[in-house]
Chain A
Amino acid sequence: MTPLQAAAAIAVMAAVTFLTRVLPFLLFGRSGNPPRVVLYLGRYLPPAVIAMLIVYCFRQVNFQAAANWAPALIAGAAVAALHVWKRNHMLSIVGGTLLYMLLVQTVF
């Protein structure tokens, strides 16, 4: 990516992110009464989207060789287990990432 393309991508991300934040104020700032279906999707879509993004992160996983699945799935399970156990964001993220780095750099 050239610096110009990267700057364009960043500008687009900034604009879209701001749009998602300002939209409720533009749409419902005056009336204050969003339709119930919007509230419903606002409540139930985010967990589905996060699950979708986790699948996205694992999209390159395949079972043709151990190196193609083992580091990601082992470290992913470790993050979930650590977080259920300690509930410490930093520990779960940094610990899981270090484990993954160790696995891809030295084991597989």
Chain B
Amino acid sequence: MSRKTLTAAFPYTLPVLMGYASIGIVFGWMMAAIGYAPGWAAAMSVLIYAGSGQYLAVDLLANATPLADVVFLTLIINFRHLVYGLSMLEKFRGMGWRKLYMIFSLTDETYALLAGVQPPEGVDEKGFYFSIAVLDHLYWIGGSVVGAVAGSLITINTEGIDFAMTALFIVIAVEQWRSGRQHLPALLGSGVTLACLLWLGPDNGRFLIPALVLMVAFLLILRPSLEHREEAGEA
């Protein structure tokens, strides 16, 4: 990462700056609302670095969730990262020590940038990708700290700010709904989970475990039909 690659990468990261500043500020503010000093929010953004994962983390910390449930919920919310990694196998090849950081910092937004942009002519490709990853991470940390400090200084009634997590998931669902041709997985996910919630009740989110198992089972059963429809749609 040099001054040149940073300067080249910066304009491409501006949309992420806008997004991370706002979502990061809300995250920091939520942490302040549940009584954690700004250092906690900063540490989480440095070490965990996952937007929706950290929103969920606030909920888990606020409810003193047992560690086993923390592991399970963090796993399922971050499952989609597996897909990102699969499509970056080639791109990260030969990046040496920077590869580990590239993998660590592969968030939704950084993935979208890396998948979509090419370095300008004459700019080192690996350094350009690394610069994007570092800048995005800094925006996220910066937003979290600003929100956490503001939230601890400004004492307004923050009851209900935890709804930001729900809002974020709804936004992601709307994006997925509009970009995918297949809506069955989303309908399946909500239907199966609702059924398990009615069956087991809301305590500790335990209903999520059978819901996840059933979802995977149904998706495997439906695989021939879904893949067939996908091929028909592409033809």
Contact = CB atoms under 8 A, between A and B. Distances in A.
A12 B26 contact: no
Given A13-B57, A47-B176, A83-B170, A94 B22 contact: yes
Contacts of B117: none
A54 B165 CA distance: 9
A32 B43 CA distance: 34
Given A56-B208, A89-B23, 7 more contacts: A21-B104, A22-B85, A50-B176, A52-B193, A72-B166, A80-B173, A92-B174
Contact of A42 (B61, B82, B202): B82
Interface stretch (B6-14, B45-53, B121-129, B134-142): B45-53
Contact of A89 (B22, B71, B82, B173): B22
The SS class assigned to the B binding surface is helix
A25 B100 CA distance: 10
Nearest to A101: B160
Sorted from nearest, which 6 A-B pairs have the closest CB atoms?
A24-B85, A48-B189, A51-B189, A101-B160, A59-B202, A100-B163
Interface in A14-62: 14, 16-18, 20-25, 28-29, 32, 34, 37-60
A57 B169 contact: yes
Interface residues of B, number: 89
A50 B176 CA distance: 9
B4 interface: no
A56 B208 CA distance: 8
A70 interface: no
Interface string A54-77: 111111100000000001100110
22 contacts: A1-B64, A12-B71, A16-B71, A21-B104, A24-B85, A32-B89, A37-B223, A41-B216, A42-B86, A44-B226, A47-B180, A47-B185, A47-B189, A48-B186, A51-B190, A52-B193, A57-B165, A59-B197, A90-B19, A90-B23, A96-B170, A101-B161
Contacts of A89: 19, 22-23, 171
A80 B215 contact: no
A97 B48 contact: no
Nearest to B53: A17
The bracket for how many chain A residues form the interface is 35 or more
Contact of B67 (A12, A93, A103): A12
A60 B173 CA distance: 20
Interface in A94-108: 94, 96-97, 100-101, 103-105
A98 B36 CA distance: 21
B138 to A, nearest CB: 18
